[in-house]
Amino acid sequence: LKTGLSKETMDKTLKHPCYNKNAHDNARIHLPVAPICNIKCKFCNRKFDCQNESRPGVTSNLLTPEKALNTFEYYNSKVENLTVMGIAGPGDALANFDKTKKTIQLIRENHPHVAICLSTNGLLLPEYANELNDLGVTHLTVTINAVDPTIGEKVYDYIDYKGTRLEGIEASKKLLENQLKGLEILRSLDVMCKVNIVAIKGVNDFHVKDVVGKVKSLGVTLTNIMSLIPVKGTAFENHESMSKKELTKLRRDCDMLVTQMFHCRQCRADAVGKLSEDISQAN
The interface partner of residue 83, options being ligand CLF, ligand SF4, none and the CB cut-off 5 to 8 Å by kind, is: none
End-to-end CA distance of the chain: 35
How far apart CA 129 and CA 135 sit, in angstroms, is 10
Contact in structure between 139 and 118 (CB atoms under 8 Å): yes
- Count Cβ atoms within 10 A of the Cβ of residue 82 and give its class: 0-12 exposed, 13-18 middle, 19 or more buried: buried
Using the rule CB under 6 A, is 104 a contact of ligand CLF?
A: no
Using the rule CB under 6 A, is 122 a contact of ligand SF4?
A: no
Smallest separation (angstroms) from ligand CLF to the CB of 30: 5
Closest CA to 119 of 195, 10, 198, 210: 195
Which span sits near ligand CLF by CB under 6 A: 71-79, 82-90, 148-156, 232-240? Answer: 82-90
How far apart CA 180 and CA 186 sit, in angstroms, is 10
How far apart CA 207 and CA 44 sit, in angstroms, is 20
Smallest separation (angstroms) from ligand CLF to the CB of 168: 29
Using the rule CB under 6 A, is 82 a contact of ligand CLF?
A: no
Q: In this complex, which beta carbon is closest to ligand CLF, that of residue 206 or of residue 262?
A: 262
Binding site for ligand CLF (CB under 6 A): 18, 28, 30, 53, 84, 86, 88, 117, 119, 139, 141, 224, 264-267, 275
Binding site for ligand SF4 (CB under 6 A): 37, 39-41, 44, 50-52, 91-92, 121
